[in-house]
Amino acid sequence: MRRAAVGLVAALLLCASCAKISTADVPSPDQTPSRYVLTVRADGPRWLGPGWWHDLGLDAESVRQKDVTLLRDDVPVPLYWLDSPDGPGALFYGQTASSESAAAAAYVLVLGETDEALAQASVPLSDRIECQAATTATLRLEEDLAYRSTAPFAVPWLWQMLRPSERMDVPVQLPGVLPNEPISLTVHAWGQSAMPQDPDHHLRVVWNGEVVEDHFWDGSEPETWSLLLPATATVDNVLTLEAPGGTEAPVEVTWIDALEVTWRRDLAPDGDSWQTWRAESDGVACWSTGAGDADRVALLVDLDGRASRSDTSVDAGSGRIRVAQRAGDVGWIGVPWMASPPDGVRPEETLLEESLEDTSYVVVAPALFHDALGALLAARRSEGHDARLITPGAVYDTFGRGVPEASAIQTMVRDLHERGSLQYLVLVGDASPHPDAVWQANSMVVPTGWVQTAHVGHTASDYALATGGTEEALVAVGRIPVSTLDELRRVVDKTLAWRPSSRLLLVSDDEAEFATMVQRLGEGQDVDRVIGAGTEDVRRELFGWLGDGPGTLVYSGHGSLQLLGDEKLLTVEDGQNWQQPTVVATWSCLCAAFAHPTHQSLGEALILAPKGVVAFVGPTGETTTSEQMAMAVAFQMALADGETVGDALLRGWRASTSGNSRHGFLLLGDPALRPMPIPEAGGSGDD
């Protein structure tokens, strides 16, 4: 969707509450955008009815008199204008494409910028008498209920876990099923456990109470297989999956990911809903009649994704609806105004890339957050940065294809680094591994990169954004993982109040390798104090130091999502336990996993607390101390040199000898914040 732009339109999805933004780039409220981004998340016809146009502040009757063009990747897409009981509207075929997180696509609706509309292509009826009266239908059953980062899938969300003696019953509706025709089932599963016994997984398939198959397999790998189910003439059916055991494996854990059922059905409308079929020959598809037949419209989609309208007629002899078709096409038939509208609509937001060439500090934040970020941008401008505030939509529309994807942020980083002066990128918003998170109304999600690491599997990685899609980090990146204005205001207030401090505390867990790391990190520096996990009253000592004044805390040792050390040196509840501002760097595991779908990480809890931590460097994954060492030493040396926390992490990323560590460590906070004084300016004292 990259194109020359006319300026920035900062807006939320129209279904969300819009906030007024104090920036010169935003049009005044009485301006009507001429270009809109329409997003679709499932293939099928989409209806732009009178109410839809009204929600945009437009009248469908007058819009019809204008030039209206629908584009996908700058290529016109047919719009079919039709009259509904409520007034005029437009029908188009929405087609998704595979994206990083889910199937999604963006279309651009252009008002009043073209001289002529795209011709409404149609497929004429054939003179052939033969009618296709049945088709093959497929139903995919899937629910994303459980997140398992180590699951061997691109999107590691699973449906249900089965242990021996457990079962799941799945209702299966087969509209128009033809009796005595074959029914096929495909099971997508994952045997999570791996035992020495072979086989170590057993799943039984039961169809309408009849055992159909006992399936065995071995090892912790995805398992996909197909089988035939007994024919049925019943629309409502029940598929049961059982884990009966019997493999002799002491532990057996099986996950169901998805099911696909394929059957033969007649061509018969199901009420007013849209029906789909695959054309098995050139000529005519014959549909039995039903309510609302006079209003039905048919579309054909060819193998290249091009849609056209299909001519229809009612056969006088049989009373069936005759629909033109071409072999291999997918057809859709239904009442136009019963089709769903697009899943999202917003004014197109595009940027003049040339205007960003001198920008050194970019904040990407939803429009709702912009006012609260004004003071932070002013502070960075006072330090000499050309600072800019843009919406995620502007990134998607200018550098991507209009949908929320991390690749658009990568492209922006690469472009602004190569052609400009980009030094710092601040991402304001949370992230989630769930593919639906970015599509929710009022979403405050700004995507992160997701990579596969050795120990955790599916791992959040802002490092992947910092690289711009290249082999090395190009800019310093920090994330402020907020979901509300109150959270953001707290973080901004703490950030602006921070002043560099030379106070340094090194803390190690109670194993030799951790003590060795903190010794390395303290070399050549004035260390205020070293505390080991075995110190008597270690938490009292720790919080005593934290309460004495601003400083930097560096930790090496065991960690988890919500705490550091077996001794619970720091926990998610500790954000209220000290008032003095602190920069924290944790050479540990998991404690900065801000994008976890069900738990708040330690790093999030501390950065969002009213007082205390102003920046948190830590891991979203798991790595060993030896993997972390080179990065940690480079990072600490950069802090001692007075570099900003973002530049220090950038130096650490570049020095790292472990891809797992590079991808698994990030910064929560502002990358332009300077933890320690510049040596020439302040020596060992505070600035």
Same domain? For 506 and 400 the reply is no
Out of 266, 285, 312, pick the residue that ends a domain: 266
> Tens digits of per-residue pLDDT, 447-499?
999 999 999 999 999 999 999 999 999 999 999 999 999 999 999 999 999 99
Q: Would 222 be classed as within a structural domain?
A: yes
pLDDT at 327 > cutoff 80: yes
Q: Tell me how far apart the alpha carbons of residues 620 and 457 are, in angstroms, rounded to a whole number.
A: 11
Q: pLDDT higher for 523 or 12?
A: 523
Give me the CATH number covering residue 385: 3.40.50
In a domain, 546, yes or no: yes
Would residue 127 count as lying in a domain? no
Question: Is residue 79 situated within a structural domain?
Answer: no
Do 259 and 187 meet the contact criterion of CB atoms below 8 Å apart?
yes
- Asked if the model's pLDDT at residue 6 lies above 70, the reply is no
Q: What is the pLDDT of residues 374-415, one digit of tens each?
A: 999 999 999 999 999 999 999 999 999 999 999 999 999 999
pLDDT of residue 136: 96
Q: Provide, rounded to the nearest whole percent, the portion of the chain with pLDDT above 70.
A: 91
Is there a domain that residue 631 lies in?
A: yes
- Examine the pLDDT at 64 and tell me if it is beyond 90: no
pTM of the model: 0.91
Does some domain include residue 621? yes
Same domain, 573 and 652: yes
**Same domain, yes or no, for 586 and 450?**
no
pLDDT at 26: 34
pLDDT value at 291 more than 50: yes
4 occurs within a structural domain: no
Residue 172 lies in domain: 135-266
How many Cβ atoms sit within 10 Å of the Cβ of residue 420?
18
**CA distance linking residue 197 with residue 219, whole number of Å:** 9
Considering Cα of 449, then 452, then 454, then 457, what sign does the dihedral take?
positive
For 668-687, write each residue's pLDDT tens digit: 999 999 999 999 754 444 44
Tell me: do 462 and 505 sit in the same domain.
no
Helix 512-522 crosses helix 625-640 at what angle (to 10 degrees)?
A: 20
Q: CATH code at 166?
A: 2.60.120.260
CB atoms within 10 A of CB 179: 9
Q: What is the number of structural domains in the chain? A: 3
Closest CA to 625 of 684, 555, 564: 555
Check whether residue 502 and residue 431 sit in a common domain: no
Identity of the residue numbered 479: R
Average pLDDT for 332-353? 94
For residue 315, the model assigns a pLDDT of: 80
CATH number at residue 661: 3.40.50.1460
Rounded average pLDDT over 595-602: 95
Both 531 and 647 in one domain: the answer is: yes
Q: Do 261 and 369 belong together in one domain?
A: no
Does residue 70 belong to any structural domain of this protein?
no
The candidate with the shortest Cα–Cα distance to 341, out of 43, 56, 41, 47, is 47
Residues 458 and 551 in one domain: no
